[in-house]
Copies of this chain bind each other. A is one copy, B any other.
């Protein structure tokens, strides 16, 4: 069977069923991070992300930005769970040709690590015909501040950080992981669900809807679209935005919108599951959203 027929997400489901997890695992595969019992007050967060030349970047991209991205995508996963990044290990496979590039990649990665106080404590170098970097990261989160995809409730308001639709124009290499915003949110509000936009707004919101067993309406007029976005489709379906998408109760949302309206934009609301997932356009017309976005296969 070809992978694109069964689909990436179905394969992940199959793998999830193979895992045999003990009681120290609070959340296994399927959220932005795994969550592991750590100490009385905190959980440990654990995630990994592989980036591959020709898929996640191209060979002419600046090597410093490639290394930066390799670490930034994992930082974004930690942010999506409300946590603080602490440690990383890095595996790099690259062609025999030159070390100049590998050193520049490492510089981009280590510089970003330093700015977020992440300890890069180990690594593995391997030969590979295409540049491949896999970062695994450990973080920590207070038990009462952990946010998952599965906590969205009917009535919640859906928010997004930043503007969407210019990932393809280079933002996927230069984005700032939303760690500061994530900590502001979990320190000051009861966030019911959160995810980072890596597959695309509709697809990632759909991950929240499925995990939380709810529906949603989003409003075309409210989607914060970058001046550089070519179309609404870019904002709805473009992957690798690495903005945070989250939901919180209407009451909490009022406080948030009042406090930080320039950063956090409401785009819709969580509704019961029967409603499905719909877009409401500028003329108030509803249409069913078929979640789509980036898939690896």
- Interface residue ranges, A against B (CB under 8 Å): 1-4, 6, 8, 11-12, 14-15, 18-22, 24-25, 28-29, 33-34, 36, 39, 46-52, 54-56, 86-87, 89-93, 96-100, 102-103, 106-107, 110, 113-114, 117, 119-130, 132, 134, 136, 138, 296-297
Q: How far is the CB of A218 from chain B (nearest CB, A)?
A: 27
Q: How far is the CB of A227 from chain B (nearest CB, A)?
A: 31
Give Cα A49–Cα B51 distance, bound, in whole angstroms.
Answer: 15
Cβ-defined contact, B106 with A296, below 8 A: no
Cβ-defined contact, B91 with A134, below 8 A: yes
Give Cα A223–Cα B144 distance, bound, in whole angstroms.
Answer: 56
Would you mind naming 21 contact pairs between A and B with Cβ atoms under 8 Å apart?
Answer: A1-B99, A6-B99, A8-B125, A19-B119, A25-B119, A28-B121, A36-B121, A46-B87, A47-B89, A48-B89, A48-B123, A49-B91, A50-B91, A50-B92, A50-B124, A50-B126, A52-B126, A54-B129, A126-B296, A130-B130, A138-B138
Cβ-defined contact, A127 with B55, below 8 A: yes
Give Cα A253–Cα B29 distance, bound, in whole angstroms.
Answer: 44
Give Cα A1–Cα B126 distance, bound, in whole angstroms.
Answer: 17
Cβ-defined contact, A29 with B121, below 8 A: yes
Give Cα A110–Cα B136 distance, bound, in whole angstroms.
Answer: 19
Cβ-defined contact, A29 with B120, below 8 A: yes
Contacts A87-B36, A87-B46; A125 near B18 (Cβ below 8 A):
no
Cβ-defined contact, A47 with B122, below 8 A: yes
Interface hub of A51, A55, A89, A138 (most chain B Cβ within 10 A): A89
New A-B pairs, 5, CB < 8 Å, besides A14-B106, A48-B89: A20-B119, A34-B122, A50-B92, A52-B132, A55-B128
Nearest residue, chain B, Cβ from A34: B121
Cβ-defined contact, B3 with A93, below 8 A: no
A-B complex: 10 closest residue pairs judged by Cβ atoms: A136-B136, A34-B121, A50-B91, A134-B134, A18-B110, A48-B89, A34-B122, A91-B134, A3-B99, A50-B126
Cβ-defined contact, A46 with B99, below 8 A: no
Cβ-defined contact, A19 with B110, below 8 A: yes
Give Cα A132–Cα B8 distance, bound, in whole angstroms.
Answer: 16
Cβ-defined contact, B96 with A4, below 8 A: yes
Give Cα A39–Cα B4 distance, bound, in whole angstroms.
Answer: 45
Contacts A90-B48, A119-B28, A128-B55; A96 near B3 (Cβ below 8 A):
yes
Residues of B close to A103: CB separation below 8 A: 11, 14
Q: How far is the CB of A21 from chain B (nearest CB, A)?
A: 5
Residues of B close to A36: CB separation below 8 A: 87, 119, 121
Nearest residue, chain B, Cβ from A1: B99
